[in-house]
Amino acid sequence: MVRQQPPPNCDQSELDLWLDEVDESMIFRPACALGMSCGTVTVDLARAMVLVIWNNRLKLWQLPKGRRNLNESMLAAALRETHEETGIRVTPLRLDIETRATPPKSERADTSSKPPNITKGYPSTEFVGACMYPDPQSETEALKIVYFFAATADCTVARDSGTQEEWEKLDAKWIPLSEIPSKLRFNAEVRTVMKAVDDMRRSGYKIGV
């Protein structure tokens, strides 16, 4: 395991050893071997309902998500894919998320020192987390990374029709937050929902109250 920092007051040989550890830990993958998908954890805050989809082909419940288009931001991709797969237009939530994104200089009181590794206290629409796994549906070997964003919508609003691609066989449904652990097929997605809900509550949003 790579040490997080080089040894204090180290000489050149010690620094070189640490850099060798960093070098050995690095992994390169070409863009064609990395799949970037984006989705949402969409919650009807008043009713504590979560938007999910039933995948008729794989026979499982999952969160809405899909591949990012060229030159599209991750958040835009998450909102678009959610709408396409479910027919629901969702609104991103600004949350106080602990993230490794750097706050803008205009919002930092002190710019004379390096910002901390973890940024908090700056409400944003950053992604709440990501799921990573070898893509089992890819024709070539690829590592899939799915970035999830927190969003909200009204579960009583009618869905838009005809938003799915012709090949998609998905059914959207709102389910109670309490049923998420037993409904979603993948534990990583359960953890994603719980993390998003924790961030919502910590950011001042009331769920089901």
Q: What is the mean pLDDT of residues 11-34?
A: 91
User: Contact, 65 vs 167, CB < 8 A?
Assistant: no
Q: What is the DSSP string of 5-22?
A: SPPTT--HHHHHHHHHHH
Residue 85 reports pLDDT greater than 70: yes
Domain ranges across the chain: 37-101+119-202
* Averaged pLDDT for residues 25-52: 96
Q: Which CATH number fits domain 37-101+119-202: 3.20.20.140, 3.30.70.2740, 3.30.499.10, 3.90.79.10?
A: 3.90.79.10
pTM of the prediction?
A: 0.91
Q: What digits encode the pLDDT tens for the residues 136-150?
A: 888 888 999 999 999
* Range of lowest pLDDT (1-10, 66-75, 161-170): 1-10
- What is the arithmetic mean of pLDDT over 182-196? 97
User: Is the model's pLDDT at 193 over the cut of 90?
Assistant: yes
